[in-house]
Amino acid sequence: MTQTAADRFRSRHVHEVKVRDLPDAPRSHWRIIGPGVIAAGVGLASGEFILFPYIASQVGLVFLWAAVVGLITQFFLNMEIERYTLATGETALTGFSRTWRHWGLVFALLTYFANLWPGWATSSATMLTYIFGGEPRWIAIAMLLVIGVTLTLAPVIYTVLERVEFLKVGLVVLFIVVAVIFAVTTDAWSAFGHDVVRPDFPTELGFALMLSALVFAGAGGGQNLVQSNWIRDKGFGMGAYVPRLVSPITGKEEAAPDSAGFVFEDTEANLSRWKQWWKLANKEQLYTFVLITFVTITLMSLLAYSTVFGVPGLANSVSFLQVEGERLKELVGEWFGVLFWAIGAISLFAAAMGIVDYTSRLAADVLKVGYLRRVSESRIYFALVWGLVLIGIVVLLGGFDQPLVLLVISACVGGLMMFLYSGLLLLINKKFLPERVRPRGIRVIALIWGVLLFGVFSVLTIKEQGAKLLDWLGVMPYGGRGGVSRCH
């Protein structure tokens, strides 16, 4: 049985696995809290601060059902990503590479393309200018340098990221509590109760915008995949046997195992431990990522409804937050508008740090496992971090203001990636994992749903945004030179 289990992982391009027992799950739930909070913290960006509040300002709260559908879909996707890592200590990308060597590289490149423009740092910097003035470009460059230095000097990268995102989530929750007390109106609560039981699909705002909100509530794209890396660094399941990413300057690297991952025998003892890990991992993801994200989307939408519902000419961009902040000053007081912008700036900065981390983390894992086996993963990671920081600085110094090509890529890549890995997750979890650990029932249905949902989304978005790009280039008329919809 042991040989058969190991044989499932044989590949010419990826190291073999070793057989080890699954570690015991912790008795305390608090010890595993972290990866879901990071996912929520990194994901609390334009979707929660701009996209859903913008929709609420235009059509009310009739589309909040999309957040529920999107979050439930992502919950099942995240758990299938975690399933593979819990059972093997490998990331899902390594699992994909066992079916075709270059799958990991494909996803790493797609993630890079989606995140080349430093949008969240620029948005954070812009919000700071609402308070202090100044030039957003130079503030954003300073932020990128701070992110690079922080990720370089942190002895254990996961630890500092967890602390930053915990702080961010705590501040956002505190702000929401204050907003509920001082700014959310009774009319908003009444509209919420009315619209919840009368959901709608408001096509007047554009199909791409609506479907973007549906599928990118919370995370989306490459961020879902990095759940593997984050739970492994937290020590979930077989990930406890894999060294964590550390700073090459201040950290102490552990010896890398001479295998890509691990496999446990399908014994009753291991299965009992697996059930405990699986239960804890599901609870951690549900009570942190899903709950925090849904509460944030809902209450930020209520805040937008209370302040700017029906105001004409609002933009689906960071400038929307300037209008909302000014309105909050009028309704509550100067202090509350400033607080709103400050929390938004902190939130988007923390999101930018998380994006730099996960983009570099995914690529470092892929390069280490499949292409640069003799090079330390930590060193690859930090080279990629500074590469992404420098690219962002070059983009900002070049004066590019949301370059259209990069925005089109960002709009299309997320849905395309999720379409591809929804199917690949079903493949690797059915092919490589022990029989009694494999997904079945509702979990299989959820993955098939992901393939269908994101497949349709990808086709429609690529078609629409491609037509807009051709119009912008003067190749064909589209009916105006509007910008592209932001997916996240």
Q: What is the pLDDT of residues 345-364, one digit of tens each?
A: 999 999 999 999 999 999 99
Torsion angles phi and psi, residue 451, rounded to 5: -60, -45
Which among 428, 446, 451 is positioned nearest to 84, based on CA atoms? Answer: 428
CA atoms of 117 and 398, how far apart (whole Å) = 12
pLDDT of 278 strictly over 50: yes
pLDDT digits (tens, 9 = 90+) for 290-327: 999 999 999 999 999 999 998 888 877 778 889 999 99
Tell me the average pLDDT of the chain: 85
Say which range, 222-236, 242-256, 374-388, 401-415, has the weakest mean pLDDT. 401-415
Please check whether residue 372 is in contact with residue 380, taking contact to mean a CB–CB distance below 8 angstroms: yes
| Six token digits for residue 308 | 């700017």
Residue length of the chain: 488
Please check whether residue 353 is in contact with residue 115, taking contact to mean a CB–CB distance below 8 angstroms: no
Say which range, 82-86, 314-318, 321-325, 400-404, has the weakest mean pLDDT. 400-404
pLDDT digits (tens, 9 = 90+) for 128-178: 999 999 999 999 999 999 999 999 999 999 999 999 999 999 999 999 999
pLDDT digits (tens, 9 = 90+) for 200-219: 777 666 656 666 666 667 77
Which among 163, 126, 177 is positioned nearest to 345, based on CA atoms? Answer: 126
Q: Does domain 2-472 have CATH number 3.30.465.10?
A: no
CA atoms of 42 and 161, how far apart (whole Å) = 10
Would you place residue 236 in the very low, low, confident or very high pLDDT band (cuts 50, 70, 90)? very high
Q: Where are the domains of the chain?
A: 2-472
Which among 67, 69, 486, 60 is positioned nearest to 304, based on CA atoms? Answer: 60
Which among 424, 470, 476, 481 is positioned nearest to 447, based on CA atoms? Answer: 424
pLDDT (average), residues 443-454: 93
What pLDDT was estimated at residue 203?
67
Would you place residue 261 in the very low, low, confident or very high pLDDT band (cuts 50, 70, 90)? confident
pLDDT of 286 strictly over 90: yes
**Residue 50 DSSP class:** I
CA atoms of 77 and 487, how far apart (whole Å) = 18
Signed CA dihedral, 381, 383, 389, 391: sign only: negative
Decide: pTM greater than 0.85. Answer: yes
In the chain, % of residues over pLDDT 90: 56
